[in-house]
Structure 1
Amino acid sequence: MFESSDGSLKISVLLLDGFSMLALGSILEPFGLLAREYPEGAPSVSISSITGKAATSDTGLPVSCELGLRALADSLEGAEAPDHLILCGATTGCTEPDASVTAMLHRAQKAGISIHAIGNTVWYLAEAGQLTGGKATAHWHSLSALKESYFDIEVENTLFTKWGGVTTCAGELAVLDMIMDLISGISADAAGVVARHLIMQSPRDGKVPQICQRAEQLLSVPQKLRKATGAMAQNLEEPLRLREIAQYCDTSERQLERLFSRHLRTSPMRYYTELRLARAHQLVSQTNLDLNEVAIATGFSTVSTLSRQFRANYALTPSQHRRKLDGRVASSAV
């Protein structure tokens, strides 16, 4: 028999336009299954949007919502206050936080409500100062942007990270792991029932690292090559020399070149440059850092050097790329 130690919990989900349908399904399906199996104690779930009207997903599909932001904020105090508030927005990129959402988050924190931020909604918490001195995660594509924008937050490459009363989640299927962790805190037996119905062998621990394309590519390469690429990834702002990398890996420069050529079909320094350019591309795309700051953060001596390398790799200069993105945002707002 499932029994919630605190009675029936209340879950409020705030949908922001551009949210992932996969993330929303990963929230609703487990709780829906729980309600069918244990109707007497399963959490109740309500869905809100900023306007109270339907929120639009990243695929363009609208989802009806029960409350608007003002009604949600008013519900944060008193007997009907939710136990958990889940922010569900776009998976990647940074976002300009809405002041009314930030104010609502302060009220939720003051009321002792657990907050769960999915995908780029971590930026709302960061701007609200609710992660200062703490830990957080985001989708791997946005991790570098978060690190460069908030030096007072320890950014982790994890599926989801708990810090204080806040949980940040990378998004997509990692949301399912986060929700299963939440259900496990209510009842391990109930979590087991839900996991079996969803055909989950076992939910992943939140501390499991995210696997990006490059990480997956390196799973089967020799250890010295993984060590070399790891050293490169950790030293983008002040690039190491090939000799220093070889010494760190306890090998020769020539052997290191052979390993890169054989397993990655490139040279060590070309791979290193592509890593730095990939970081620069993320910072140009996802932050408002000026190009001089981007160049410094990615180890390029000048903006002109960055621009030349960036154009060779992406067919546009950083400024052109940013203007192109700005144009798309402007056209989508019309």
Structure 2
Amino acid sequence: MTVSDARLTYGDSQAPTHIGFLLIPDFALLGYASAIEPLRAANRLSGRDLYRWSHVSIDGLPAPASNGVSIRADHGVGDDVRFDYLFVCAGGNPAAFQHPQSFAWLRQLARRGVRLGGVSGGSYILARANVLGGYRFTIHWEHAAAFLEDYPNLDLRRSLYAIDRDRLTSSGGTAPLDMMHAVIAREHGSELALSVSEWFLQTHVREGEGPQRMPLRERLGISHAPLLRVVGRMEQSLENPIARAELARTAGVSLRQLERLFRLHLGRSLGEYYLGLRLDRARDLLRQTSLSVLEIALASGFGSASHFSRAYRSRFSHPPRAERLPAKAAVWR
């Protein structure tokens, strides 16, 4: 299908839907592009302006993406702008973002009935603003562990995207393409939405409940089903590690056989592999939260801070405290 073949007239001559993008410093450029490009395509393929958009930064200055590219801002946080939707685009370490003016502005927009969304780490900012209570939502898997430590009572889903009434959240990457397909289909029909997806060579439009990560089979490059079952249980039980004998029962083999499978397919013993998973989680928590070393040790399945620190130093060649990254929060206040 060519562009001219797909260019049809949809809907009436109502005013374009105004969509704002709040670009948090270090936002992920790919997720942002995947959210805004379908709007441009919908205008082009429909032959009229169904959507218009504006960019907002915290200070009205150009907003830097995580790769160094900057986007010119049309507005600063707090400006009196009428939006139909506002998407918060965040990446890097959204847990470190502390900007009371942004949070207050988001609450104000919510009270006005503006539909709020988050892209990649944007849900962290929405949670900080207290506008996610009672809603289903998602976030990029990299931020999920830290988010749950901060907000254990919110309804976080591990899905590609979630649309719950006037909250629209996407896990980032290319997932906003799928979310915006759903938005365009709801507002202007599935024919236009499919034309937009086809224009971007999107041969398969994914459902919101789809998984964010590759299946273990592809991610690990192995096809041994019992071993994959064991690794799946391990990844889901990092705070309370499962006994080796129980893992062997999960695989339906002896503990000795399971150890052989780990060394053959993964190049490490069962214990070494499990420890690596727990330490990787601990590193994410150290970088993305303000939890104490002891709290992170317990959240990663260690009985004491000293045991955790020894294991961490052995794995990464530096103590846990050295992992703390300089916070940028002071710059944004």
Q: Shared fold (TM-score greater than 0.5)?
A: yes
Q: Deviations over 1:289-320 (max 9, x none)?
A: 00111011111111011111111111111012
The aligned amino acid for 1:264 is L
Aligned partner of 1:49 in structure 2 is 57
Indicate the SS of the match to 2:75: coil
Structure 2 residue aligned with 1:65, among 60, 73, 81? 73
Structure 1: distance between partners of 2:217 and 2:95: 23
Which aligned pairs between 1:10-159 and structure 2 lie closer than 5 A?
Answer: 10-40=18-48, 42-71=50-79, 74-75=80-81, 81-90=82-91, 92-159=93-160
Structure 2 residue aligned with 1:261, among 260, 263, 266? 263
Q: How high is the TM-score relative to the length of structure 2?
A: 0.89
Q: CA RMSD in A?
A: 2.4
The aligned amino acid for 1:128 is A
Aligned partner of 2:201 in structure 1 is 199
Runs of 5+ consecutive residues of structure 1 not aligned to the other structure: 76-80
Runs of 5+ consecutive residues of structure 2 not aligned to the other structure: 1-8
Structure 1 residue aligned with 2:287, among 277, 285, 288? 285
- The question of whether the paired residues in 2 share the 8 Å contact of 1:277 and 1:298 is answered with yes
The worse-fitting range, judged by mean Cα deviation, of 157-166 and 237-246 is 157-166
Q: In 2 relative to 1, CA 41–188 (structure 1 residues): closer, same or farther, beyond 3 Å? A: farther
- The question of whether the paired residues in 2 share the 8 Å contact of 1:91 and 1:171 is answered with no
Q: Give the C-alpha shift of residue 21 in structure 1.
A: 2.2
Identity %: 30
Matched positions, count: 323
Aligned partner of 2:249 in structure 1 is 247
Q: How high is the TM-score relative to the length of structure 1?
A: 0.89
Q: Give the C-alpha shift of residue 57 in structure 1.
A: 1.6
Structure 1: distance between partners of 2:12 and 2:162: 24
Q: Deviations over 1:45-103 (max 9, x none)?
A: 122222222212222222112112222xx22xxxxx32211111225552323111111
- The question of whether the paired residues in 1 share the 8 Å contact of 2:217 and 2:228 is answered with no
Q: In 2 relative to 1, CA 140–277 (structure 1 residues): closer, same or farther, beyond 3 Å? A: same
- The question of whether the paired residues in 1 share the 8 Å contact of 2:90 and 2:121 is answered with yes
Q: In 2 relative to 1, CA 160–13 (structure 1 residues): closer, same or farther, beyond 3 Å? A: same
Higher relative contact order (CA 8 A, sep 6+): 2
Indicate the SS of the match to 1:70: coil
Q: Deviations over 1:90-119 (max 9, x none)?
A: 255523231111111112221222111112
Q: In 2 relative to 1, CA 258–185 (structure 1 residues): closer, same or farther, beyond 3 Å? A: same
